Structures are given as C-alpha cells and as structure tokens.
C-alpha cells in the first residue's frame, strides 16, 4: 500500500470512510439493493456497533470494510486510500496487516491446537516459528487463556473458542478488529465475557472495533451506535454511558 495522499483529504482523515457506497446483488426482478448510498466515517480508537434488522445492510457494510466485498458504486477509503484503486494483492495485504476478524461461528481449525490456530495469520506473514509462537502465547494471555495452548477446539467451551478467535484476530496487531455477531452462539454469561474483552481491548489498547450485532445489551459496550434500515443509516449517535468493563478474567484450565 502506498502512502495516503489525495484520498486522505477526500475521506476527512478518518480511519474508515464510506462515500455514497451502494451495493447491489442480482439482476432484473431479482435485484437486491443491500446498501443505498451510505456515508459513514469511523475514527481511530472508536468502538462502533452496527445495528439493524436482518437485511438492513449492516453485515454488507462490515464485509466491504473488511475488503471481503466491494461496492457497486461509491468509494471506501481506508486510511485515506481509495480501496478501489488497490490490486487484489494489495487488498490481501491490507486485510493481513491492518484488519482482524472475529466471526459468530469461531472458524477455528478443528484438528489444530489453540496456539496453532492463533499463529495462523503469522504463518502467512512469513514470521519465524519461535517468534510467532511467542506472539501467539502473548495474544492468548491477553484474552485470559494462558494454559490452553495445546487444547483442541473440541476441548474448549464456546466462550473459550471465541476467546481463541479474538486472540487470532489480535496476534497480528491490527488497526481494526471487525466482529460479526461475536456473541451470537454464546449464552449470556459467555457473551458478557466476550464483550468485556472487546471493550477492554478498545479502551486500554486503543484498538478500533467495529461490531455487527442485533442485541441491544451487547451494543451498550460500544462508544457509538449506528442503526441501519433498508440499506441506509437511520441513526448515528454516541453512547454516552458505555458499559464499564473489567480486565479479561483468566479461564480455569482443564486437564
């Protein structure tokens, strides 16, 4: 990626900037307008919750932010760079070096230990075995999972698996963590633990977090809530009283 220039002015210096972003799927009578000219800016260090009913456009927005999809029209700037000017290789580098992803379904490799799952992004970056293992252990410790390095996903609870997924997102020290319904498969107690981790990473480390959720009691951890309906933003407001958080609690390690 080249240094920001013209795009930095166009995007207002924001970390993430959407300018009249439209996304259309299908053709003819089957056409679906998932996004209808969305304008959105997110600054460094924000924790933004994207909310709305199914089909409102929130998940499509996150996919475009994560360079997993592209706009049909309009522009998406990341750190001042218009992503439509980037090659496929450059987009891969952007995802690899600047973005971390947490999904509802964890997406862990079933026959691979927690440590190896967390190491995976570093393998693609060509980091030596010793260094990446040290970095993976540090990331696991940051989410309260010291001692489970050799456990397989099947030996971990749902909450523990999501902690591993968060550690994997953090290990490459991204600018942004993008979380798509990160608590959707968890009970309320485990969901609260995951939200406290995400909020703690944002408030204590300054990591920008963008999270899709349909749960109001999860969104209250964010510092800003953006509501979508019918492919557009209908409300964008600060959360003046975000839920307080505790540092990540260490899990009890099972033999």
Summarised one tens digit per residue, pLDDT across range 114-164 is 999 999 999 988 899 999 999 999 999 999 999 999 999 999 999 999 999
Output the six-digit token pair for 65: 């932010």
The model's pLDDT over 8-59, given as tens digits with 9 standing for 90+, comes to 434 456 999 999 999 999 888 789 999 999 999 999 999 999 999 999 999 9
Contact 20, 82 (CB under 8 A): no
Dmax over Cα atoms in the chain, in whole Å? 58
On whether residue 26 sits in a domain, the answer given is: no
Mean residue pLDDT of the chain comes to 90
Residue 1 pLDDT grade (very low, low, confident, very high; cuts 50, 70, 90):
very low
Q: Is the pLDDT of residue 6 over 60?
A: no
Contact 164, 155 (CB under 8 A): no
Q: What's the residue count for the chain?
A: 255
Range of the domain at 197: 44-68+87-238
Q: Which residues contact 136 (CB under 8 A, 6 or more apart)?
A: 115, 116, 118, 119, 122, 149, 167, 171
The model's pLDDT over 238-249, given as tens digits with 9 standing for 90+, comes to 999 998 887 666
The CATH number of residue 182's host domain is 3.40.50.300
pLDDT at 30: 84
pLDDT at 29: 79
pLDDT at 248: 62
Residues 228-251, mean pLDDT to the nearest whole number: 85
Output the six-digit token pair for 193: 């633990």
On whether residue 188 sits in a domain, the answer given is: yes
On whether residue 11 sits in a domain, the answer given is: no
Query: What are the CA-CA distances from residue 188 to residues 21, 46, 80, 245, 251 (Å)?
Result: 35, 24, 38, 15, 17
pTM of this structure: 0.89
On whether residue 95 sits in a domain, the answer given is: yes
Output the six-digit token pair for 228: 């979508």
State how far the Cα of 77 lies from the Cα of 134, in Å rounded to an integer.
Answer: 33
Residues 165-188, mean pLDDT to the nearest whole number: 94
On whether residue 162 sits in a domain, the answer given is: yes
* CA neighbor of 107 nearest in space, from 194, 178, 166: 166
Contact 67, 95 (CB under 8 A): yes
On whether residue 172 sits in a domain, the answer given is: yes
pLDDT at 45: 95
Task: Determine what percent of the chain is predicted with pLDDT higher than 90.
Answer: 80
State how far the Cα of 15 lies from the Cα of 88, in Å rounded to an integer.
Answer: 20
On whether residue 32 sits in a domain, the answer given is: no
Domain count, the chain: 1
On whether residue 245 sits in a domain, the answer given is: no
Q: Is the pLDDT of residue 205 over 80?
A: yes
Residues 67-95, mean pLDDT to the nearest whole number: 94
E-strand stretches of the chain: 16-25, 32-42, 47-51, 73-78, 81-82, 99-103, 176-180, 208-212, 224-229, 232-238
Output the six-digit token pair for 178: 């993008």
Q: How many alpha carbons lie under 13 Å from residue 214 in its C-beta half-sphere?
A: 12
């Amino acid at each position: 990626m080249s240094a920001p220039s013209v795009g930095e002015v166009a995007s207002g210096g924001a970390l993430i900037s959407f300018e009249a972003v439209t996304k259309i799927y299908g053709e003819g009578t089957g056409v679906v307008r998932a996004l209808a000219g969305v304008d959105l800016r997110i600054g460094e260090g924000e924790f933004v919750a994207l909310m709305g009913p199914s089909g409102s456009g929130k998940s499509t927005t996150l996919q475009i932010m994560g360079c997993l999809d592209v706009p049909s029209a309009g522009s998406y700037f990341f750190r001042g760079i218009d992503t439509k000017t980037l090659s496929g290789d450059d987009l891969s580098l952007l995802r690899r070096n600047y973005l971390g992803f947490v999904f509802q379904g964890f997406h862990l490799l079933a026959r691979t230990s927690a440590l190896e799952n967390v190491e995976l992004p570093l393998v693609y970056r060509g980091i030596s075995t010793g260094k990446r293992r040290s970095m993976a252990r540090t990331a696991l410790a940051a989410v309260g999972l010291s001692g489970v390095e050799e456990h397989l996903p099947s030996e971990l609870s749902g909450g523990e698996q999501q902690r591993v997924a968060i550690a994997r997102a953090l290990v490459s020290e991204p600018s942004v963590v993008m979380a798509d319904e990160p608590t959707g498969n968890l009970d309320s107690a485990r969901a609260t633990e995951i939200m406290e981790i995400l909020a703690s990473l944002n408030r204590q480390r300054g990591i920008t977090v963008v999270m899709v959720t349909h749960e109001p009691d999860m969104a209250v951890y964010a510092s800003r809530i953006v509501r979508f309906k019918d492919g557009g933003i209908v409300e964008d407001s600060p959360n003046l009283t975000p839920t307080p958080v505790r540092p990540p609690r260490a899990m009890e390690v099972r033999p």
